[in-house]
A and B are shown apart, each in its own frame.
Chain A
């Protein structure tokens, strides 16, 4: 794998000293439904954190708040020392440069070729010269095993291939944080392994911070430094994957794991 195409943000003192993402007293309501209830949690730089829990427990909401697709009703969110909420849209744009997201439904741009899906944001947002963006995009496509699909349209690819392009597209922005929102849930079963293997490689070979919502418990066990068990908008248990998966302390965690494993 060509490692020069992978995001490799320079290690700054802030990173090595730990905390990259911090949520303080974050509350999010949808109507009468309180999805997150005064949630506090933080993620250290370079860590791979998996959020597990029953659906509706607020895992995806956290990723969407970090991507600024949602606004919290209360609380503050900080990324790398910069405020994401509360902040002006201009400040948020700056912070957002450090965050990439891969979606359940891929969300590739169907009107663009695979290559342009990947080069669009580096060129228009980061101001990267087109030649350089194309070269890097080709490198990333090579890494995800789709070097021959540069000129294809997303609709011509399988779901697994589309998701691998979406991962390449997110990495092309060299984010410090990668948010993975149930990235294999919409895939046919035989395509899941390819995507998960790719993510394992990325987790192993880069220092990118990952926040991952998944129902693939084996994958979570493999890549995670920390697993957070959510229930009703709160973290009810947190710890190393070995501990959470083999000796969960909380009854709800045990129930949940026995249901999904």
Chain B
């Protein structure tokens, strides 16, 4: 096996395209998972089984089936009902929804971790329920769980290559395409491997800095 630097430089333009797509998936997927996960967590606190039972069932189902199956389902089955999105949109929705079933549990722990005295003080001051959530409970809960949410972002990064299966050309997709066309596998795969490490490392540094800031 020989290492060919010219293969690296040939691959680089494709690599940048793939990197951009991977980062898009990561950022948008994270935002979906943060938003939808919070909605799940709040719905699970509605004091009615008519809400909590279906939400619980759906989220259990999504959490306990493979992301790859969900990707295929959304990409190949939904169009049969005339619901079509681009591959990238489908991928972002699928990965965001999948991870929302994890972030909901993180939010739940954060909400339950807010001392009961905070609820009591809010009642004593007669704060409306909505205001109690937005001004008192959620700011404290989210602050508590930011590190845990960040860990899921890093996890999600490592799941982004699954989107290759629905034709999204993220880093792995670009590397595979390049390899098949040029019969050079080592260089592109190594480049994207290094890129994954660098992104997760930078993300974990950013996360640690954020944790330090929140600690004060």
Contacts and interface: CB of A to CB of B under 8 A. Distances in A.
Interface of A: 67-69, 93, 96-97, 99-101, 103, 105, 107-112, 120-121, 124-125, 169-170, 173
B121 interface: yes
B120 A103 contact: yes
B136 interface: yes
Given A107-B118, A111-B143, A121 B125 contact: yes
Contacts, number: 59
B117 A111 contact: no
B126 A121 contact: yes
Contact of A101 (B124, B128, B131, B139): B124
B89 interface: no
A103 B136 contact: no
22 contacts: A67-B123, A69-B120, A69-B123, A69-B124, A96-B123, A100-B124, A100-B125, A101-B120, A105-B117, A107-B117, A107-B121, A108-B121, A111-B140, A111-B143, A112-B135, A120-B127, A121-B126, A125-B125, A125-B126, A125-B127, A170-B124, A173-B126
Contacts of B127: 120-121, 124-125
Interface of B: 115, 117-118, 120-121, 123-128, 131, 135-136, 139-140, 143
A99 to B, nearest CB: 8
B177 to A, nearest CB: 49
Nearest to A110: B140
B143 A169 contact: no
B119 to A, nearest CB: 9
A97 B140 CA distance: 25
Given A96-B126, A111-B136, 9 more contacts: A67-B120, A68-B123, A107-B115, A107-B118, A108-B121, A109-B121, A111-B139, A121-B126, A125-B126
Contacts of B143: 111
A173 B123 CA distance: 13
A105 B139 CA distance: 20
B124 A109 contact: no
Contacts of A108: 121
Contacts of A125: 125-128
Contacts of A170: 124-125
B88 to A, nearest CB: 37
Question: Lowest 3 CB-CB distances: which A-B pairs, in order?
Answer: A121-B125, A107-B121, A107-B117
Nearest to A179: B124
A108 B136 CA distance: 10
Contacts of B124: 67, 69, 96, 99-101, 103, 170
